[in-house]
Structure 1
Amino acid sequence: MKVIKVKRLILANLFCLALLLFPCVSHALNIHDVPNPQQSNGTWVTDMANILSDSTETKLNQMINDLESKNGTEIAVVTVPETAPSASPKAFTTELFNHWGIGKANEDNGVLFLVSVGDRRVEIETGYGIEPILPDAKVGNIIENQITPRFKQGDFDGGVLAGTNALVSVLHSGSTHAMYPVDTITLPQRGAILLISICAILLSWFEYYQFKKVSEPILLKPTGRSRLHGVNTPKQRAYLIAYIGIVLATLSLGLLLVVISPKVFSMKVAIGWLIFSVIIGFPIAILLTKKYYVPPSWRCSDCGLPLKRVRPSLVPSFLTKPEKVARNLGSVKFEGWECRPCSQKMRLRLIHIRAYVVNSSSYRQCPICQELTVKHSETTIKSPTEYSTGECRIIDNCKCCDYYTEKTETIPRLTSTSDSSSSDSSSSDSSSSSSSDFGGGDSGGGGAGDSW
């Protein structure tokens, strides 16, 4: 009888111990056990602790939906019985945040509002992009003033609603798209901005000297040839140099203002200032060019005396046959400059021919004539389709000599519309699948927490 009683006593103790240990095992929670509301039903609330009413969840989802549609910010509200066996509620919250990827991938504009009933703890985790708008101190004030006082009275619905409403109000008033207030511009960043500003100032000063250099005399040999691509007149170069200098000077002024007063800096202000610099540079560059530009003089590189421009009607007489053909084709423009003193000294008419390439797309250089006299043409013989390649005939015919080449090249087949549509459908599928989840944001542990 005693043996039976002892066995019964042992079995009863084991049964009681199992009852004590079973809740601990059943309540052990892993982040993978928390249902993702975006994947489950496209909402923002997961109430595992069963402390929120249906009407509260509806209001929360409506508020977060409105915020997300306005500026893309994502807020997840989660309640759990407890966070064990995690090291702490904070560690559990950070791990869950990054596991779900709350917030947009390139902006990290996510917030996780977690309530652990068993730990009697509130944790609000913020993504990197949220921290400038919602710093840790402000999160702590929201928890202390809006959430924990209601939780102490057992009003979980009121605390979660008030806390979420406070978060939404702050995030509605600020922009989460790459905004940088005073706290985020550190001393090294100010130093980098100052360095860039100094470089912009030096470059604008360099442009000033280039502007003055445009008016310096252009030296040409008494005879010979010189060649430029494009009709790039000195006045055009002066205007372009002045424009670049004005834009650089305006940008450097804006960067200096950022260093002096970072409060005025945001991405919108930076983009606006850049656009302003580009626009204001046009009229200022025109005014500077009209007022200070002096056309350069053309001088002889031998004697240093001014050159005289040859009348256009006389220039062809000094050109070679290929040059005349190129002139008639309109691929090259020619000018003649004469040094009268050197011509009188040498008892010869010394002419310098200056060529400007104005049309090199339709004409190619002839390997025999060494001038832009080759007419380049491409003719489609067979058009490509989705199933077969095409053929193109390329003809190079010199208008000055007998140079002539003809060859056939293969045209790749067209891309199948079905392939593109399938790729579009796959991309749309991927986008639709991604829309059923959070945006892939990240958190570095920002935010705050408190107990009640």
Structure 2
Amino acid sequence: MKDTKVIFRIMLLAVVLLAGGTAWGEKVYTPADVPNPNIADRSQYVADPAGYLSPEAKAEVNRQLAEVRKATTAEIAVAILPSIGDETVDEFAPELFKQWGLGKKDKDNGMLLLIDIGGKKARIETGYGMEGVFTDAFCSELLRGDLFPRMKENDVDGGVKAVIAHISAVATNPEVRDEIMSELADGQAGLTEEDIETLKEVAWNLAMIVFFAGLCIFVYKVVKTRGKDRYEKALAWRGSLVMLGGAALFSGGMALPLFLIAYILYRLKRNKPLRCPKCGKKMRRLSEKADNAYLTPAEDLEEQIKSVDYDVWECPACHTIEKYAYRSPQTKFAECPACKTVAYEMVSDEVRVKPTDISQGIGVKTYKCRFCGHTKEEQYKIPRLEAAAAAAGAAAAIGSSLSDSGSSGGGFSGGSSGGGGASGGW
């Protein structure tokens, strides 16, 4: 008799364990546990880690929500979870909404359908930009009219599809579409006022840094040119113009006075009349056409190709000639290592040995002086095709991550919940 009672108790316990095992083994989700489906694949809008939706229903819901996003920029997502523990759907939904950043920042046109299977509860959470169309009363009707009757019949597919179809039809209606449409393009997150203020602060700090860098350059030139002759001062101030010009640009104009002063000093030093070193008379600067008679063939070529500009000064009394060279801020011509003429340029760049998957290639750049004809070849290595392909692949991956098309990843756009919507149970 005792054995029969023991067996009966064991069987009863087994039945209880089998009946309650599923519930006891359910994972309790927090908002942080729920993966954003849209990050890895931009075509996915449903988080269903336990697989309550059939593949066909999930595909249909994703298709509809993608069309809504394309037509209206509104970002709507679905989360179906086995259990959210002791947290209510009214607490859970806003947290998940914020974590995913549903909707555009300028419009807050996001919406979330959260279904807690274990608690038999659901909530529709809306952003501010959706509340004018999807009112609390309307959201309540979606739950009580479309979702809950089907959930009572364990028809998760039918319930979710009915709600999303209803939302899609309303959102894409031309009469209300403009009300929820963001001005930001899809995939463009936009900036909040806080973001803009932060950017302004960063820009101001960077501008100040650039300004003080320009000021340091200016002061350095002032100190460096003390005691120098007019030609050396002209060269020094001329050499600072590119840096001070960049400082003026990237400091938002704060360094512009420094650039203008440097330019004026450069012109004054370059154009200041000279005294003849022999007789002391004032010299005059010759025109570009007249000074050619006093230039060497190499110097004449440099002026023709605009690599160097020469100032030629002549004394009207004793006809003494003084020449001053000002190299142009260009990168095409360099100084020839043979004749020192600034007419040395690259004339060809060819591949001598093609790279392969296992070996580097060899390229040859040929340089030649336009004046003396001095020629030199310089070899360089070409990366292996595998390395080049890897670099191209990395660039493609970056481009893909920034792309809005296809099913590449991306996520939502940083919108916020407005606290509107409705919740209930079945």
Residues 366 and 138 from structure 1, CA distance in 2 versus in 1: closer, same or farther, beyond 3 angstroms?
Answer: closer
Corresponding position of 1:412? 382
Residues 191 and 306 from structure 1, CA distance in 2 versus in 1: closer, same or farther, beyond 3 angstroms?
Answer: farther
Q: TM-score, normalised by structure 1?
A: 0.50
Corresponding position of 1:275? none
Provide the rounded CA distance (Å) in 2 between the counterparts of 1:75 and 1:62. Answer: 12
Q: Which runs of 5+ in 1 are unaligned?
A: 127-133, 207-219, 235-239, 250-292
Q: Per the alignment, in what secondary structure is the counterpart of residue 335 of structure 1?
A: strand
Answering whether residue 334 of structure 2 is matched by residue 364 of structure 1, we say yes
Corresponding position of 1:178? 189
Provide the rounded CA distance (Å) in 2 between the counterparts of 1:435 and 1:189. Answer: 30
Q: Per the alignment, in what secondary structure is the counterpart of residue 178 of structure 1?
A: coil
Q: Let me know the Cα RMSD of the aligned residues.
A: 6.7
Provide the rounded CA distance (Å) in 2 between the counterparts of 1:172 and 1:366. Answer: 63
Corresponding position of 2:353? 384
Report matched runs for 1:256-271 at 5 Å: none
What amino acid sits opposite 1:67 in the alignment? V
Provide the rounded CA distance (Å) in 2 between the counterparts of 1:322 and 1:383. Answer: 33
- Preserved CA contact (<8 Å) 2:44 2:62: yes
Quote the offset at 1:310 in angstroms: 1.7
What amino acid sits opposite 2:312 in the alignment? G
- Preserved CA contact (<8 Å) 2:231 2:324: no
Provide the rounded CA distance (Å) in 1 between the counterparts of 2:333 and 2:237. Answer: 13
* Aligned mate of 2:323, from 346, 350, 353: 353
Quote the offset at 1:391 in angstroms: 5.5
Corresponding position of 2:77? 76
Q: Which runs of 5+ in 2 are unaligned?
A: 151-158, 215-227, 254-263
Provide the rounded CA distance (Å) in 2 between the counterparts of 1:363 and 1:7. Answer: 101
Q: Per the alignment, in what secondary structure is the counterpart of residue 114 of structure 1?
A: strand
Corresponding position of 1:300? 273
Per-residue CA deviation, residues 75-94 of structure 1 (Å, 9 max, x unaligned), is 332445x5244755467668
- Preserved CA contact (<8 Å) 2:312 2:321: yes
- Preserved CA contact (<8 Å) 2:189 2:413: no
Aligned residues with identical type, % of pairs = 16
Quote the offset at 1:372 in angstroms: 1.9
- Preserved CA contact (<8 Å) 2:341 2:371: no
- Preserved CA contact (<8 Å) 1:365 1:371: yes
Per-residue CA deviation, residues 140-175 of structure 1 (Å, 9 max, x unaligned), is 994722222453464565655555666675654553
What amino acid sits opposite 1:24 in the alignment? A
Q: Per the alignment, in what secondary structure is the counterpart of residue 83 of structure 2?
A: coil
Provide the rounded CA distance (Å) in 1 between the counterparts of 2:296 and 2:46. Answer: 84
The alignment covers a number of residue pairs equal to 356
- Preserved CA contact (<8 Å) 1:228 1:357: no
Corresponding position of 1:271? none
Quote the offset at 1:71 in angstroms: 6.9
Residues 358 and 119 from structure 1, CA distance in 2 versus in 1: closer, same or farther, beyond 3 angstroms?
Answer: same
Q: Per the alignment, in what secondary structure is the counterpart of residue 190 of structure 2?
A: coil
Provide the rounded CA distance (Å) in 2 between the counterparts of 1:225 and 1:145. Answer: 79
Residues 155 and 110 from structure 1, CA distance in 2 versus in 1: closer, same or farther, beyond 3 angstroms?
Answer: same
Provide the rounded CA distance (Å) in 2 between the counterparts of 1:312 and 1:28. Answer: 86
Q: Per the alignment, in what secondary structure is the counterpart of residue 119 of structure 2?
A: coil
- Preserved CA contact (<8 Å) 1:125 1:445: no
Q: Per the alignment, in what secondary structure is the counterpart of residue 383 of structure 1?
A: strand
Per-residue CA deviation, residues 259-304 of structure 1 (Å, 9 max, x unaligned), is xxxxxxxxxxxxxxxxxxxxxxxxxxxxxxxxxx9xx77433779x
The structure, 1 or 2, with the larger RCO (C-alpha pairs under 8 Å, 6+ apart) is: 2
Q: Per the alignment, in what secondary structure is the counterpart of residue 65 of structure 1?
A: helix
Provide the rounded CA distance (Å) in 2 between the counterparts of 1:191 and 1:43. Answer: 32
Report matched runs for 1:280-319 at 5 Å: 298-300=271-273, 308-316=284-292, 318-319=294-295
Q: Per the alignment, in what secondary structure is the counterpart of residue 300 of structure 1?
A: coil
Provide the rounded CA distance (Å) in 2 between the counterparts of 1:450 and 1:358. Answer: 72
Corresponding position of 2:140? 148
Provide the rounded CA distance (Å) in 1 between the counterparts of 2:27 and 2:202. Answer: 54
Provide the rounded CA distance (Å) in 2 between the counterparts of 1:416 and 1:195. Answer: 40
Provide the rounded CA distance (Å) in 2 between the counterparts of 1:29 and 1:300. Answer: 88
Provide the rounded CA distance (Å) in 1 between the counterparts of 2:65 and 2:354. Answer: 50
Provide the rounded CA distance (Å) in 2 between the counterparts of 1:7 and 1:78. Answer: 45
Residues 71 and 417 from structure 1, CA distance in 2 versus in 1: closer, same or farther, beyond 3 angstroms?
Answer: farther
Provide the rounded CA distance (Å) in 2 between the counterparts of 1:406 and 1:35. Answer: 59
Q: TM-score, normalised by structure 2?
A: 0.52
* Aligned mate of 1:334, from 292, 310, 313: 310
